[in-house]
Amino acid sequence: MDMSYRELKKRLRQEALARRDALDPQWRIEASLGIAEVAGREIDAGPGDVVSAFWTMRSEVDTRPLMAAMREKGARICLPAILDKSTMIFRELVRGADLVDMGFGTFGPGPEAEVLDPNIMLVPLAAFDPRGHRIGYGAGYYDRSIERLHEKGMSPRLIGIAFDCQEVPQVPDEPHDVVLSAILTESGLRGFRQLD
């Protein structure tokens, strides 16, 4: 019997996350620093840009050096804030501000922080394929947030942040799925050609 779309995505997610979890923690730190260096050279961001990042959880790429690299280029940085079971917004991350628990083992700026709409989004993921399709963690927050930005007339550049070991041959996709513009791993920044 063939696996359903949902079952296949779940299996691919679990396998990719297991590979990521198995990476040596010291290697992950070094790879994260290298990813930040590449971002500083190759991601076109600067004053006037708003870059959404994410607070690292579990064995993800450590995004703190990446955020610092974007800030050094003059970009404003924001992090996701989950308001309820379906809504995620982005709040500005400023030096010295307190971070609050956002659930899922992640942190972000509190309700006093300014809400921003990013034009560049650094997107977490569980798995990705060579076409730019991604598997998230299953809650759909990013898909809904990107749809909300599209409804406002914005088309943010979507850059997945991952390790090479999270790549899978093909993510099962549906017509409504959001495709990444690029993926940034320890091997560098790779763009995806968008097919219309």
The answer to whether the annotation marks 13 as part of a ligand binding site is yes
pLDDT in tens, 15-27: 999 999 999 999 9
Q: What is the pTM of this model?
A: 0.93
Q: Is 160 annotated as a binding residue?
A: no
Whether residue 141 is annotated as binding a ligand: the answer is yes
Whether 149 has a binding-site annotation, put simply, is: no
C-alpha span between 157 and 165 (Å, rounded)? 23
Q: Residue 74, annotated ligand binder? A: no
Residue 135, annotated as binding a ligand: yes
Domain 5-191 fold is: Rossmann fold (3.40.50)
For residue range 77-120, list pLDDT tens digits in order.
999 998 888 889 999 999 888 888 887 778 889 999 999 999 99
Other Cβ atoms within 10 Å of 170 Cβ, number: 11
**39 is annotated as contributing to ligand binding:** no
**CB-CB contact of 87 with 103 (8 Å):** no
Q: Is 140 marked within a binding site?
A: yes
Contact 120, 75 (CB under 8 A): yes
Distance CA 101, CA 110 (A): 9
Tokens read off for 26? 């010291």
The answer to whether 99 is a known ligand-binding residue is: no
Phi, psi of 100 (to 5 degrees): -120, 155
Average model confidence (pLDDT) across the chain: 92
For the residues 52-75, what does the mean pLDDT come to? Answer: 95
